[in-house]
Amino acid sequence: EGIALGTLLSQIITLAVTVTVWSLKYGRLKKYLRYADLWNKVALRSFFKVNADVFVRTFLLTIVTGFFTFASSSMGDTLLAVNALLMEFFMLFSYFMDGFAYAGEALTGKFVGAGDRKNLKAMIRRLFFWGFLVNLVAVIAYSFFPGELISLLTDKAEVIRVAKSYTFWTVLIPITGFAAFLWDGVFIGATLSKEMRNTMIFASMMFFACYFVAVPLLGNNGLWLSFILYLGMRAFVQTVIARKRLKLI
């Protein structure tokens, strides 16, 4: 109950701070708001279409990560603990990448809205440059200090011992996944939500197809192979789409 209450309070505080900051910095713009604009059918249709696409993307993301945990539970308590532990490597990396994705989302919207393709291209190059540097740091940390990182998360000797057998998969997380995080931000900013949704549908299908083939043969390695393939497919397909739709590369 304490965790639930803390989560609820954090959301309420976030909303209150957002409204306060907006009112202080942009309150003067309220005079330009018109009630009729709030019920513009064309704008509302576009708004809900984008939100529906993002919902499908997020729903599938939740399904894949949730199924990963479900599949781990069928492999025994130790592997369930190991996979939950190693998924923290993914979560840690995703927090860093999400910051870049949010920045890319805002700046992409700005430049696409202004029709400024030159600065859009320059921004995306810089976004991927800094994203690559963070990716490199993560690869080095996951490659050379896996034991130390695992020990920070648990003191269970058996879990640590087994986890060390699978840490090579965590090295592949930033390599295959960093571009997917960055493209998500760019695609949302450019309102390419349909393309992002379709990418997630395809990547999720690849995850489950690989899972049902690889897990009977490779066990837990097959599960991780499926997850890495899922991340890689997101990055690859979105890169191809970006070349076609945004003409960036």
Residues 165 and 196 in one domain: yes
8 A C-beta contact, residue 84 and residue 152: no
Residues 129 and 184 in one domain: yes
8 A C-beta contact, residue 94 and residue 238: no
pLDDT tens-place string over residues 138-162? 999 999 998 899 988 888 889 999 9
Residues 23 and 52 in one domain: no
Residues 99 and 7 in one domain: no
d(CA 126, CA 53): 27
Low-confidence ranges of the chain (pLDDT < 70): 248-249
* Domains contained in the chain, number: 2
Residue 181's domain spans which residues?
41-245
In order, the DSSP letters of 120-164 are HHHHHHHHHHHHHHHHHHHHHHHHH-HHHHHHHH---HHHHHHHT
pLDDT tens-place string over residues 194-222? 999 999 999 999 999 999 999 999 999 99
